[in-house]
Structure 1
Amino acid sequence: MTKNIDVELIGIQKKFGPNVVVDNFNLQIEQGECISFLGPSGCGKTTTLNMIAGFLEPDQGDLLIKGKRMNGVSSNKRQLGMVFQTYSLFPHMTVFENVAYGLKLRKTPKPEMTKRVNAVLELVKLPHVADRYPKQLSGGQRQRIAIARALVTEPSLLLLDEPLSNLDAKLREELRDELKRLQQEIGVTTIFVTHDQEEALYLSSRIVVLDHGKVEQIGTPWDIYNRPASEFVHTFIGKSNRMQGTVERTGGSTVQLKTDAGFALQADSRDMSFADGEAVSIYVRPEKISISDGTPAAEGSNQVKGTVKSTSFLGAYTECEVEVGPYTIAVRIQTGQQMILFTEGQPVTLVWKPEDVFVFSRKGKGQ
C-alpha cells in the first residue's frame, strides 16, 4: 500500500557559525502521525522544528511538505498551525478574537469564521470562555486556546514547541490527555518537540531521539524504550541501573558477564557482537528487578544479594535502594503487587532475567 508522506527531510543540515546544530537529518512523516522530537537542551530539536515551520532555512538538504519542496518558501505559505511554549495570545483581544485572528487574516467571511471558531472552542471544551480575555483564564485554558487558534485554520501540519513546559504537573498531565484526544480525533499530522520522555512516550506514534544535532534513533515508543539503538538512548529514556564489567564469554543465546565488583551476570545476546574480555556497561531497569527476603531465583536468572539502603513510597510504586557491593541499585515495586515491607538494613535478594539486561561497549559502540 502506498504511503502518504506529509513531511520529508532529506539530508538537512543547519549551522550557526562554525557549530553544526542539525547534521544530516533524514525523516519521513506519514499523514496523521504524531512524531516527537526528543532530546536534551541543545540537541537540535527546536531548530529542526523552526526549519519545518519556515522560520529558519536549512544550509543543506531538502525539506518537502505534501511532496512540494519548501526551501525558501515563507512560513505563511506552508499551511501550518503552531503552538509555542508561551501562550502568545493577544492580551487586548477576547478569546473569540484570538482564535479568529488567522481566519481574519485570510479574509474568511464572518458567518464561516463564527462557525469555525465556535466549533474549535467546542473541540477544546472551552465554548464558555469566548468573551473572556486571556488574563481571565488559567494557564491550562490559555494553552488550550492557543491550540484552538492553531487548529481553526485547518492546517495540514500542526507544530508543537514544548507547549506543556510552562504548566504545573497536574495541568501538564490533563493537557497531555487533551492533546492526544485532539490529535486522534482530528487526525492532523503533528510534530511535537519536548525534552520530557514521558510526554513523548505517551503522545507519539514514533519518536526521533536527538543528541548534539544527530539522530540517535527513530522508532515507536516501545522500540525506543525496549530496543534502544545506543547507550545514550537507553540512559535518556527512563531510569536504569548501571554497572561496569567485562564480557567473560559469548556464544549461544546469552552473553556471560562479570561486573567490576566480581558479580557473574548473563544477558540475552540479541544479536550483539562482543569480544571476550571487552569492557562494557551493563544496565537493568528498576521495574525489571524483583526483590525478596531470600526466595531462590528461577534457573537462568541473574541473582545478587544486597542490603536495603532506603525505601520511598511514590504512589503507583515504591522505590527501594539496595546496596550491592559498590553499587546502589534501584528497584521499583508496583503498589499492590508485592506487599512485603522492606526496612533499612534488611538483607534481600535481587533477581532479573537475562533478556532485561542491556549491554553497551565502553569503546563507544552501542550494542
Structure 2
Amino acid sequence: MSKSYDVELINIQKRFGSNIVVDSFNLQIERGECISFLGPSGCGKTTTLNMIAGFLEPDQGDLLIKGKRMNGVPSNKRELGMVFQTYSLFPHMTVFENVAYGLKLRKVAKPEIRERVGKVLELVRLPHMADRYPKQLSGGQRQRIAIARALVTEPSLLLLDEPLSNLDAKLREELRDEMKRLQQEIGVTTIFVTHDQEEALYMSNRIVVLDHGKVEQIGTPWDIYNRPASEFVHTFIGKSNRIEGTVGQLSGHDLGLTTDGGLSLKAVQRGLPLTTGEKVSIYVRPEKISIHVNVEMAEKGNRVKGVVKLVSFLGAYTECEVDIGQTTMVVRVESIEHDAQLAPGAPVWLDWSPDDVFVFPRKESLA
C-alpha cells in the first residue's frame, strides 16, 4: 500500500496563455510538515499555492489532499485555512467577529463559537483584543488575527502567502517566531510562500526552491544551504564569493582549479559533469573563510594572500572585504574588538577547505 500524504502534487503544470508558469511540479508533503516555496518574483510559488487552495485549476497533473483528488473541487470544500500578506480583515467587524466569521458560515452553535474563538485568541496571545476593531490594532496584531481566523476552523492544511512581507524587520522577526511556535504546537500541515530566504530557512522542515516555474531543489534547510543542487540555488540562498576559473586536474573526488588570475585552488568533485579545461564559476561562502595576519596560521587546503579593503562591524559578526588581485573576497568572522592588524590596507592571508568550494560550469552571461 502506498504511503498517504497530506498533500501530493503529481506533474502539475499551469499556463497563462503561451507562458508556462509552473512546469512538472512533483511534491509529497507529510502530515505536520512546514514546507516553504522559495524563489524570486515570477517563479511560480504563489501560482502553485493558489492551485492548492482551489483559486486556480492546473492545466495538467493531479492535486491530492489527504489522498483525495482535488482537481475541480472548490476552495470551500478543501478544509484549509489561508493567510494573505494583506490581512484581509473586515474593518466593520470586531476582532471576535472577524475570527468567528468562518464558523458562522458553517453554522456552528454560538456557545461553541465563543469557546473556539477564545481558544485561538489565546493561541495567538491576543485574548484581550476581542472587542477591538482592525483599525485599532498594529500591523503585527492584525496579522495574528488573520492567522487566528485561519486556524479557528481547525483546517487540515494551512496556507501562508507572504504573510510577513508588509511588516518592518523587527516585527517580522517577532511574528516569525510566533508562527513557528504555533505551527509546532498545533501540528497543522503548513505551506509557506516567501521570497525571503532567511524566513524559509527558519520556518521550514523542507524548502522547495523554484525558478521560472521549475523546481530547482527540494530539501532540508541544511541541505539547501550546504549542498545546493544548482548554481541558482547556491547564489539565491545566502551570500557567496564568486571567482572565475578553469578545471585543471580531475582525480577521483579531488578537483584542481586555476583561477583566471592564476591562482591554484582545490575543490571536491560533487558529481557535476566537469571536464579538464572547462571554464567554471568557483564559489565559497564568507563564513567558510578564515583570515590570518601570518601565513603560518593559514593551514587549510586553499591559501590566498590579500589586502584588507574594508571592515564592517555587523553585531554578532564582522565582514572584511579583502582584495586578492583578480577579485574582492568577503570574509565573515565572529566579531571581536577592533584589531589594528585587520584595518584597511593590512596584508592578510585567507584560507578555506576544498570541501567548502562549489564549482559549476560557467555561464558566459554571468561572466
| Letter matched to residue 92 of structure 2 | H
- Secondary structure in 1 aligned to 2:251? coil
Mapped pair 1:193 → 2:193: yes
In structure 2, stretches of 5+ residues that fail to align are: none
Mapped pair 1:252 → 2:252: yes
Contact 1:3 / 1:30 at 8 angstroms: preserved in 2? no
- Secondary structure in 2 aligned to 1:281? strand
Q: What displacement does 1:323 show?
A: 0.8
Mapped pair 1:326 → 2:326: yes
Q: What displacement does 1:269 show?
A: 1.9
Partner deviation per Cα, 1:62-108 (whole Å, 9 max, x = no partner): 00000111000000000010000101000000000000000000000
The equivalent of 1:230 in structure 2 is 230
Mapped pair 1:279 → 2:279: yes
Q: What displacement does 1:124 show?
A: 0.4
Pairing 1:42-53 to 2, within 5 Å after superposition? 42-53=42-53
- Secondary structure in 2 aligned to 1:154? coil
Contact 1:248 / 1:258 at 8 angstroms: preserved in 2? yes
In structure 1, stretches of 5+ residues that fail to align are: none
Q: What displacement does 1:253 show?
A: 3.2
Mapped pair 1:181 → 2:181: yes
| Letter matched to residue 159 of structure 2 | L
Aligned-partner Cα distance in 1 for 2:82–2:333: 40
| Letter matched to residue 51 of structure 2 | M
Aligned-partner Cα distance in 2 for 1:237–1:341: 32
Q: CA RMSD in A?
A: 1.6
Q: What displacement does 1:336 show?
A: 4.5
Partner deviation per Cα, 1:307-336 (whole Å, 9 max, x = no partner): 111111111111111111120110001224
Q: What displacement does 1:297 show?
A: 4.8
- Secondary structure in 2 aligned to 1:5? coil
The equivalent of 1:171 in structure 2 is 171
Q: What displacement does 1:270 show?
A: 3.0
- Secondary structure in 2 aligned to 1:87? coil
Contact 1:297 / 1:303 at 8 angstroms: preserved in 2? no
Pairing 1:94-109 to 2, within 5 Å after superposition? 94-109=94-109
Pairing 1:81-100 to 2, within 5 Å after superposition? 81-100=81-100
Pairing 1:1-367 to 2, within 5 Å after superposition? 3-297=3-297, 299=299, 301-336=301-336, 342-362=342-362
Alignment CA distance shift 1:2-1:10 (3 Å): closer
| Letter matched to residue 218 of structure 1 | I
Q: What displacement does 1:292 show?
A: 1.1
Partner deviation per Cα, 1:239-260 (whole Å, 9 max, x = no partner): 0000010011011331000000
Aligned-partner Cα distance in 2 for 1:116–1:338: 55
Select between 292-301 and 233-242 the one with higher mean Cα deviation: 292-301
Return the TM-score normalized by structure 2: 0.96
| Letter matched to residue 50 of structure 2 | N
Aligned-partner Cα distance in 2 for 1:3–1:148: 31
Aligned-partner Cα distance in 2 for 1:136–1:18: 46
Partner deviation per Cα, 1:216-239 (whole Å, 9 max, x = no partner): 000000000011000000000000
Aligned-partner Cα distance in 1 for 2:299–2:332: 22
Contact 1:39 / 1:210 at 8 angstroms: preserved in 2? yes
Q: What displacement does 1:272 show?
A: 4.0
Aligned-partner Cα distance in 2 for 1:340–1:118: 59
Q: What displacement does 1:337 show?
A: 9.9
- Secondary structure in 1 aligned to 2:190? strand
Aligned-partner Cα distance in 2 for 1:228–1:297: 30
Select between 334-343 and 103-112 the one with higher mean Cα deviation: 334-343
Q: What displacement does 1:271 show?
A: 3.6
Aligned-partner Cα distance in 1 for 2:339–2:96: 53
- Secondary structure in 2 aligned to 1:51? helix
Aligned-partner Cα distance in 2 for 1:67–1:44: 24
Q: What displacement does 1:295 show?
A: 3.7
Aligned-partner Cα distance in 2 for 1:5–1:75: 19
Aligned-partner Cα distance in 2 for 1:254–1:262: 19
Contact 1:257 / 1:266 at 8 angstroms: preserved in 2? yes
Q: What displacement does 1:2 show?
A: 7.3
Alignment CA distance shift 1:59-1:258 (3 Å): same
Contact 1:297 / 1:351 at 8 angstroms: preserved in 2? no
Return the TM-score normalized by structure 1: 0.96
Q: What displacement does 1:338 show?
A: 9.8
Aligned-partner Cα distance in 2 for 1:282–1:155: 46
